[in-house]
Structure 1
Amino acid sequence: MSLVTIPLEPHKGAVSSVATSPFSSKLLLTCSFDGTVKIFKLGQENTAVFSADPSLGYLHSAVWSYSKPLTFAVATGDGYVLIYDLSESQSSPLQKLKASPELQPVHHVTFNPSLHHTVASADKKGVVKVWQLSDSLTYNSPRALQSLNLLASSENSTKAETSMK
């Protein structure tokens, strides 16, 4: 076995989460204490093909959906879980869920691989919440698969940058 190193554009703060896409081994999702979430296309570019700065606080966790190719969730340091679906919007999350009653940092978020309608989070104070998501965030569409294939395989991806601040 040999070690392969792929240098990627670094975040400006500590990286708190890294996740590979369950739909494409070429896409890597990261988030950082610098407040950004990024998607990298492995093997083609060392810069992010998607970057967003969605929160005023740290980002603690980022995870891909198991049921929808360009859907992912991010846990924020200001008490929210943000659900993105890049096949619908690259400018803002489609859902902003208040995950912590006292707006404590949300340290972890996860989709359920068996029950695609659910996402769970855990905050700094030990509060765990489970949500049932709408069908639009859980069922696959031909448009979503086309968008994923375009992002994962195109030679010249457009870098999308967003900010909600």
Structure 2
Amino acid sequence: QVTPRIVYDTRPSPSTLFAPPISFAYDKHSGPVHEVQFSPFHRNIFLSVASDSTARLYSVLQPRPVHVVEPSSSSLFGVAWSTARPLVFAVAAADGSLSLYDLKRSRGRPDVVLQVTSNRSPVYGVAFNPKNGNLLATADAQGFVKVWRLSTQLSTMGANELAQLEKLA
């Protein structure tokens, strides 16, 4: 019988007892990363945004990004996956813009770009409503929280979207 005392007496190294916290590293952004979000539709897909003006879509199984977009020439502060559409996400930027991407329609350009703040002050946060997929909220440097209603085109799942997301993974 193996007891804690026997294990202690063998003096195993801490690395044997405790797995390292990092098991895989991904290609890094060229500046601070401001947010990371896993897809609510796929366990292996996540997005990151950073001060290098890029939003990167990664598969946890690959070190390089699967897809990279640059919605603004300024820092990116927030990112959120749609809770209704597997291929839709939103990116909040320091120039006051919010870019919505639909990867089913276009892989490089945003479908919609909203100017959230009147004076181009930063948008720091973005979130899709988990119960009502056509609602999106933004938080900005002026102190405002705004709720936006999205078109059905951006909030109604189309055929084969989950399969398309699976291909990215």
TM-score, normalisation: structure 2 = 0.86
Equivalent residues of 1:82, 1:93 under 8 A apart: yes
- Residue 15 of structure 2 corresponds to none
- Residue 94 of structure 1 corresponds to 111
Deviation (angstroms), 1:4 = 4.6
Question: Is there any run of 5+ residues in structure 2 with no aligned partner, and where?
Answer: 1-17
Match of 1:67 among 71, 77, 84: 84
In 2, the alpha carbon distance for the partners of 1:75 and 1:4 equals: 28
Match of 1:17 among 26, 35, 42: 35
* Pairs within 5 Å for 1:134-153: 134-152=151-169
Structure possessing the higher radius of gyration over alpha carbons: 2
2:94 corresponds to 1:77 = yes
Match of 1:30 among 25, 28, 48: 48
Letter in 1 for 2:166: N
Higher normalized contact order (CA 8 Å, seq sep 6+, divided by chain length): 1
2:70 corresponds to 1:53 = yes
Q: What percent identity do the matched residue pairs reach? A: 34
Deviation (angstroms), 1:150 = 1.1
TM-superposition CA deviations, 1:112-134 (whole Å, max 9, x none):
00111110101111122111000
Runs of 4+ in 1 over 4 A off after TM superposition: none
Partner SS, residue 137 of structure 1: helix
In 1, the alpha carbon distance for the partners of 2:117 and 2:51 equals: 18
- Residue 157 of structure 1 corresponds to none
Equivalent residues of 1:87, 1:143 under 8 A apart: no
Question: Is there any run of 5+ residues in structure 1 with no aligned partner, and where?
Answer: 153-165
Letter in 2 for 1:64: W
TM-superposition CA deviations, 1:138-163 (whole Å, max 9, x none):
111123222111112xxxxxxxxxxx
Please provide the CA RMSD for this pair: 1.2
In 2, the alpha carbon distance for the partners of 1:76 and 1:4 equals: 29
Letter in 2 for 1:9: D
TM-score, normalisation: structure 1 = 0.88
In 2, the alpha carbon distance for the partners of 1:144 and 1:135 equals: 15
